[in-house]
A and B are shown apart, each in its own frame.
Chain A
Amino acid sequence: MSLNRRQFLKCMGLAGVSTGAAASTAEASTAPHAGNDWHAMLTDLTLCVGCRKCEWACRKANGPTDPGPIDAYDDPSVFEQRRRTNSISLTVVNRVGPTRDDEKPTFVKSQCMHCCEPACASACLVGAYRKSKLGPVIYDESVCIGCRYCMVACPFDMPAFSYNSPTRPAIHKCTMCFERLAKGDGAPACASICPVEAITFGKRSELLALARRKIAAEPKRYVNHIFGEYEAGGTCWLYIAGRPFEELGFPANVGTRPYPELTKGLLSAVPFIQVIWPAVLMGAYAFSHRRETATSANDARDTTEGTEPGSES
């Protein structure tokens, strides 16, 4: 099956080159799994106490508005409703459970997952997103037209849009403090402030090894699953937890296939259709045209020979 598909794509690629069409549409914008050196984050949900200091630090580092006093983030009433990232809060912490009295609640920090092969980047029609060499997925506001297809494409529903701005609406999402990383100024704001070290910053391969060590050391504390190792083709934000991830509100249906592959087939068919379809249509035209010319020639002959007996057809 996979071999057939590859041959099929190759065939279409050739067709694309022969028309001089944009055969590059068949290529993803990102290199496949260069990934072990990518910067990444590991969130240990068994450690998180829900202090929301990461939310404060994130807003202070990236936010469009002042984050306000840090003490205000202690208010537990925000946990009563499930929140999602928005154009002001690029990361949010939600409380899940407890479902039983003897159980402790789990706090779940969410933000852009920085996919290894990001759906948003493949969906963006102006190339506003790119997977940087450092690992974070970066968005460039200066070319964005505000179509919001990235929000449709994102399997984790992370990009948010500033609908309230009439002149400069834009996507807002976690950048993994990209500018700080680019300068080599240490860990992202949320990881730096976390008082219980629930967020670890490092190279993706190292963090995967760390996560495995942790799970192996305390198999009762953790479920044997590193969320983000394979999800949606792998992400640069990894999670380990004490409960199954579906119970914690993580999307269960993202699969392990990189999302850009979902549209690759359609886009590879474009050059193919560009070559075949006009040929078929011109063939149909030639056929109907010739039939018509033949019919009118016959008609002409019939009218000239019409006087002869037995010439009716």
Chain B
Amino acid sequence: MMNHAGHMTTSATLLRGDWLPRPSVRGHLRSYVTPFNVVAAAILCIGAPVTVNRFVNGLAATTNLTDDVPWGLWIGFDVLCGVALAAGGFVMAATVHLFGLREYQPLVRPAILTGFLGYFFVVIGLMYDLGRPWRLPFPMVYSPGVTSVMFEVAWCVALYLTVQFLEFCPAIFEWLGLRRWRAWAVWLTTGLTVFGVLLSTLHQSALGGLFLIAPGKLHPLWYSPYLPLLFFASAVAAGIAMVIVESMLSHRVFRSHVEHHDERQMNRLVLGLGRAGAIVLMAYFCMKCLAFAHEHGWHLLRTPYGYWWLVEMLGFILCPCMMYAIAARRGLVWLVRVASVVTVLGIVLNRLNVSIIAYRWDAARRYVPDWQEFVITITIVTTGLIMFRWIVNRMPVLHDDPRYEPVH
């Protein structure tokens, strides 16, 4: 009825400005103008044309990769760091569903969502980096190269992405109100968790194993036959640290979701994770020392790369380890958080060292990423954050859906 009236008095409507969105709609639109959204939109506006440039004009037009240095920022950060920092999913799922530490249950879903999105965007980053991304399924079905460590990585990442999606399904079905489907998804939990831990063990270590075949190219302080073990141990440390960092940020950003959380209980969990972090980092530090002893690299310590290696070892492994230990002992939640941030930075530093900084350190022309490589990396991270927010705002991730029993 209103529409008919509107049609009849079109000119009057135009003059009155009724064709503009109603005030409520306008207000709704205006609510989208937040600092995060403005920055995110700006990043996407730069990322889109660079993406077009990548796929229309090729890798040479967007990257500084050379024949000597075939892997750059997209492999070093997007893939290696992405996978390591997404390890929280399998660590938390195992903690709660296999080792029976049920009090950590509130941290499982955010960790699995972070993990799933992390892996999803690892694959997206890989699509940018591969010469022919449309052949992504080739190693799986068409032409498997079973002697390759990369083959193991490809299969495990593909399977684990699926596993994490299934692990997250209970949240999706709760959101959609599909009670029977949810029951099925919950029933799968234990099996999926075991499978997920297995796949994570295999591919987290295999990512380090990729470099086993390049002994002459990776600096001897970082090359070690124990690289697979080191990558796995550091991934567990990264997973724990990311769960703490992620919960810290979520509790600031999504305050309304966590109103009913018991602050004291959350702090206890963070301290517990800090204790675990101290143990894992100490184990990792000892493994690094063993690997160092194995390579007889004492004379390398007094070189620029030696100093850099010590920065990583002392500043980003031993130091956060001590912070975790002190924080857990004295009950300092803030110090656990600081230690977690340092740990995350340390793992990122380690992956960049292995894949970029200490790789072909003797090359005549060093690789420095093109600005477009940075743009793509930032765009991918931003898209991940947007998707994380979209999902958290709709599905029961940070809080339980009161209509359902929590999943143990």
Contact = CB atoms under 8 A, between A and B. Distances in A.
A25 B94 contact: no
A267 B152 contact: yes
Interface string A80-92: 0010111100000
B124 interface: no
Given A163-B59, A262-B215, A292 B142 contact: no
B213 A121 contact: no
B201 interface: yes
A152 B143 contact: no
Nearest to B126: A147
A166 B58 contact: yes
B214 interface: yes
B391 interface: no
Contact of B149 (A123, A165, A278): A123
Contacts of B152: 25, 267, 270
A153 B147 CA distance: 13
A92 B195 CA distance: 49
A227 to B, nearest CB: 15
Interface residues of B, number: 61
B99 interface: yes
A23 to B, nearest CB: 9
B193 to A, nearest CB: 8
Contact of A163 (B60, B143, B149, B215): B60
Contacts of B142: 126, 143
B175 interface: no
A260 interface: yes
B70 A251 contact: no
B144 A126 contact: yes
Interface string A244-259: 0000000101110001
Interface stretch (B38-46, B103-111, B202-210, B298-306): B202-210
Nearest to B156: A270
Contact of B190 (A87, A267, A285): A285
Interface string B54-89: 011111110101011011000000000000000000
B337 to A, nearest CB: 28
A262 B143 CA distance: 23
B130 interface: yes
Contacts, number: 183
Interface string A95-136: 000000000000000000000000101111111100000000
B52 to A, nearest CB: 11
Among B97, B197, B202, B214, which residue has the most Cβ atoms of chain A within 10 A? B214
Interface stretch (B24-32, B131-139, B310-318): B131-139
B154 interface: yes
Contact of A152 (B99, B197, B217, B228): B217
Contacts of B131: 144-148, 161, 169-170
A149 B190 contact: no
A27 to B, nearest CB: 7
B98 A25 contact: no
Contacts of B364: 82
B148 A123 contact: yes
Interface in A8-30: 22, 24-25, 27-29
B71 A277 contact: no
B58 A163 contact: yes
Contacts of B6: none
B167 to A, nearest CB: 15
A148 B70 contact: yes
Given A144-B131, A284-B98, A125 B148 contact: yes
B352 to A, nearest CB: 16
Interface in A170-216: 170
Nearest to B208: A266
A160 interface: yes
A303 interface: no
B349 interface: no
Interface in B228-246: 228
A274 interface: yes
A270 to B, nearest CB: 6
A150 to B, nearest CB: 9
A282 B60 contact: no
Contacts of A72: none
Given A84-B67, A124-B150, A161-B70, 6 more contacts: A125-B151, A146-B135, A152-B214, A161-B67, A255-B215, A273-B202
Give the top 3 A-B pairs by smallest Cβ distance, nearest first.
A146-B131, A288-B100, A166-B58
21 contacts: A22-B146, A87-B67, A119-B213, A145-B132, A148-B131, A152-B211, A152-B214, A163-B58, A167-B58, A168-B132, A169-B59, A253-B216, A260-B213, A262-B215, A263-B212, A266-B212, A267-B149, A278-B198, A281-B198, A284-B99, A285-B190
Interface of A: 22, 24-25, 27-29, 82, 84-87, 119, 121-128, 143-149, 151-153, 155, 157, 159-161, 163-170, 251, 253-255, 259-260, 262-263, 265-267, 270, 273-274, 277-278, 281-282, 284-285, 288-289, 291-292
